[in-house]
Amino acid sequence: MTGNELRQKFLSFFAGKGHTIVPSSSLVPVDDPTLLFTNAGMVQFKDVFLGLDRRPYKRATTAQKCVRAGGKHNDLDTVGRTARHHTFFEMLGNFSFGDYFKREAIAFAWEFLTRVLELPPERLWITVFQEDAEAFQLWQEVAGVPAERIVRMGEKDNFWAMGDTGPCGPCSEIIYDRGPEHACGAPLCALGACDCDRWLEIWNLVFMQYERDEAGNLTPLPRPSIDTGMGLERMASILQGVDSNFDTDLLRPLINAVEALSGLPYDRGEAGFPFRVIADHARACTFLIADGVLPGNEGRNYVLRRILRRAARYGKALGVEEPFLYRLVDTVVAIMGEAYPEVAEQKEYIARVIRQEEERFHETLNEGMKVLNGIMERAGKEGRYTIGGQEAFTLYDTYGFPLDLTEEIAGEKGFKVDRAGFEEAMAAQRERARAAREDTRAYEFALAFAGSLNDISGTEFTGYERLEDTGKV
């Protein structure tokens, strides 16, 4: 089953259960300055859950574009190291706004996984919140999952909250066991409590049933709600019988394109890391730009710049000397353009934006690498395995190296970066810029003031000397 078919199957299944198919919202959250990017399906329904917004439906289903880079959920450093994390991914979800609750949510999920997708039930494990006896019971009763495959977990993993106050509740995750041959060898791995690629978390069901007040008290919501999220790429990897998201039809063509551009073969192990990073980042850049984000120096724009420059640097690591990332936009569009017309419609624009940013970075990348290697060589000789804050700042300011890029390159050679020192240098620079702006403002003010004097007197402004002479300034 292709990724596109899976997305469609999910939406149709829930439409058949009375859910309205709602389009994905933008990666840039609307009216929500607290959130860098849309990072889950529920984001566009936040106000509906809070009762602040009403919709003509009580059940909805979506395939939501998500980015988890920067901010609270940040998977940027994990990409390419695990088989299952991306910066950009799609989350399939079903939602109940005060309509059905736990029993139906569990029944729907189980039916979809075991009847529609025909996953072998014995491979599926369930986690529940340790105090949620109801969910523990329902998984056995409704889905027939034996108690020994239902694991009770603590608040950190299995209790979800929208914020410090507001709607919250226990959650229940469905985990697919890839089998003992994928075990990582950690002592607890065999018990199903491991974070490695053997245990693949595919679906999270959130049971929103309480409201938390300022004092931390939980009051049951009169009409509890459901919010679920399933990773499309992860489920595709299971259905396509591959060990990694990067080998699914949603990402493999991008890896192939990188092979063609670099002339190097992809390796599923460590050596293939740059391929995976580039494939992932090409999707993230394409979709972010399609939703109106441009590379820049602040906030969202800076996250995009970091992702893009990181991909550019890995291209270089593969020996690709020219800008190349923009060429992958076509491949992203070929895979996803039908489901997301916004990327197909804007593909020339997106490629142009990426290319410009790549070109800008290429101008300084080689020089910057030389400088950084020089710093490391000197520091290494002195037995100092830290890049100074000012040095990292120069790389940032003069050569366009985002701090985490410097950290990553340095880390590969066993060096750390003085982050606090970098922040100090950055603050000092900001202060200088502010002072310079004040000077400019004072100057402009003086000019404007002089201009208004002219207006009044009808005589020509002859300079600051005159102003000073009048004693008015």
Residues that bind ligand ATP in the complex, under the rule CB under 6 A = 68, 75, 85-86, 89, 91, 201-204, 229-231, 233-234
Partner touching 89 among ligand ATP, Mg ion, none, CB below 5 to 8 Å by kind? ligand ATP
Partner touching 358 among ligand ATP, Mg ion, none, CB below 5 to 8 Å by kind? none
Shortest Cβ distance from residue 206 to ligand ATP (Å)?
Answer: 8
Separation of alpha carbons 415 and 378, rounded Å: 12
Shortest Cβ distance from residue 203 to ligand ATP (Å)?
Answer: 6
Shortest Cβ distance from residue 119 to ligand ATP (Å)?
Answer: 14
Q: 229 vs 315, which CB is nearer to ligand ATP?
A: 229
Shortest Cβ distance from residue 149 to Mg ion (Å)?
Answer: 17
Longest dimension (CA), the chain: 94
Residue nearest to ligand ATP (CB): 231
Shortest Cβ distance from residue 173 to Mg ion (Å)?
Answer: 5
Q: 234 vs 310, which CB is nearer to ligand ATP?
A: 234
Separation of alpha carbons 72 and 60, rounded Å: 26
Shortest Cβ distance from residue 385 to ligand ATP (Å)?
Answer: 31
Q: 177 vs 201, which CB is nearer to Mg ion?
A: 201
Shortest Cβ distance from residue 231 to ligand ATP (Å)?
Answer: 3
Quick check: 39 binds Mg ion (CB under 5 A)?
Answer: no
Q: 6 vs 230, which CB is nearer to ligand ATP?
A: 230
Q: 173 vs 391, which CB is nearer to ligand ATP?
A: 173
Window contacting Mg ion (CB under 5 A); options: 47-55, 120-128, 195-203, 210-218: 195-203
Q: 91 vs 353, which CB is nearer to ligand ATP?
A: 91
Partner touching 91 among Mg ion, ligand ATP, none, CB below 5 to 8 Å by kind? ligand ATP
Partner touching 233 among ligand ATP, Mg ion, none, CB below 5 to 8 Å by kind? ligand ATP
Window contacting Mg ion (CB under 5 A); options: 2-10, 200-208, 315-323, 411-419: 200-208
Q: 16 vs 154, which CB is nearer to Mg ion?
A: 154
Q: 61 vs 204, which CB is nearer to Mg ion?
A: 204
Shortest Cβ distance from residue 204 to Mg ion (Å)?
Answer: 4
Q: 200 vs 258, which CB is nearer to ligand ATP?
A: 200
Shortest Cβ distance from residue 134 to ligand ATP (Å)?
Answer: 20
One-letter-per-residue 3-state SS of the chain? CCHHHHHHHHHHHHHHCCCEECCCCCCCCCCCCCCCCCCCHHHHHHHHHCCCCCCCCCEEEEEEEEECCCCCCCCCCCCCCCCCCCCEEEEEEEEECCCCCHHHHHHHHHHHHHHHCCCCHHHEEEEEECCCHHHHHHHHHHHCCCHHHEEEECHHHHEEECCCCEEEEEEEEEEEECCHHHCCCCCCHHHCCCCCCCEEEEEEEEEEEEEECCCCCEEEEEEEEEEEEEEHHHHHHHHCCCCCHHHCCCCHHHHHHHHHHHCCCCCCCHHHHHHHHHHHHHHHHHHHHHCCCCCCCCHHHHHHHHHHHHHHHHHHHCCCCCCCHHHHHHHHHHHHCCCCHHHHHCHHHHHHHHHHHHHHHHHHHHHHHHHHHHHHHHHHHCCCCEECHHHHHHHHHHHCCCHHHHHHHHHHCCCEECHHHHHHHHHHHHHHHHHHHHHHHHHHHHHHHHHHHHHHHCCCCCCHHHHHHHCCC
Partner touching 248 among Mg ion, ligand ATP, none, CB below 5 to 8 Å by kind? none
Asked if 95 and 45 touch (Cβ cutoff 8 Å), the reply is: yes
Out of 127, 204, 209, 262, the only residue in the binding site for Mg ion (CB under 5 A) is 204
Give me the residues that bind Mg ion (CB under 5 A), please: 201, 204
